[in-house]
Amino acid sequence: MEMPSQEEQEIARNYVLKRPLERPDTSILKAIICVCIYLLSSVLMAVVLLRFLSWLGIFMFLPESLANFRHQNEFWFNFIFVAIVCLIVGVFLLKPAAIGCVRLYQRYAPEHVRRRCLFKPTCSEYAILAIEKYGLIVGLVKTYFRAFKRCRGTIYRIDYP
């Protein structure tokens, strides 16, 4: 990593140390409510989808081994179907959930912890930008390397995702 200019270091230093900390309007209660709404809505949607597919007769086209399992263990077949649908729905909601976790950190982390970052944007701001730009997996990997590998020392830097 090349050494930033003195001007870049001063800009980043002023940004990190002198700016007012953003405290997003979120709370643990809001997060819990969102998780409960997700769970209830995805289970309800999965149950409705299961009943609709049964009504259409789609399950008649299952391979013989699955059809036998469905008839012998109807409860477990339904349970597994609902769980798979909930997981599929959850995959689409992981990105907003990860951003919500970062916002909870921004809301509740003490000032002395949040001011440890040596970068502009700060590591939590970088996490949100990286997840939005690159998606969940790549964004989290970039955030990990930024927060735990690069954000060390005493040199302030400017580094956008």
- Torsion, Cα 161 8 21 99, to 10 degrees, reads 0
Note the pLDDT tens digit of each residue in 71-111: 898 899 889 988 998 888 877 778 888 888 899 998 888 88
Let me know whether 53 and 125 are in one domain.
no
The pLDDT value recorded for residue 131 is 92
CA atoms within 13 A on the CB side of 93: 13
* 3-state secondary structure at position 23: coil
Q: Please name the helix (run of DSSP H) or strand (run of DSSP E) that holds residue 157, with its range, or none.
A: strand 157-158
Let me know whether 73 and 119 are in one domain.
no
pLDDT at 3 exceeding the cut of 80: no
Let me know whether 28 and 92 are in one domain.
yes
Domain final residue pick, 69, 93, 109: 109
Query: Of 76, 31, 21, 78, which Cα lies nearest the Cα of 53?
Result: 78
Note the pLDDT tens digit of each residue in 45-77: 888 998 998 899 888 888 888 888 888 988 998
Range of the domain at 123: 1-20+115-161
Note the pLDDT tens digit of each residue in 103-140: 999 888 888 888 888 888 888 899 999 999 998 889 99
CA 78 to chain centre: 28
Let me know whether 119 and 98 are in one domain.
no
Q: Strands (DSSP E) along 6-155, which ranges?
A: 119-120
- Torsion, Cα 111 112 114 116, to 10 degrees, reads 160
pLDDT at 150 exceeding the cut of 80: no
pLDDT at 1 exceeding the cut of 70: no
Note the pLDDT tens digit of each residue in 12-46: 888 888 888 888 888 888 888 888 888 888 889 88
Tally of structural domains, the chain: 2
Query: Of 126, 127, 109, 49, which Cα lies nearest the Cα of 81?
Result: 49
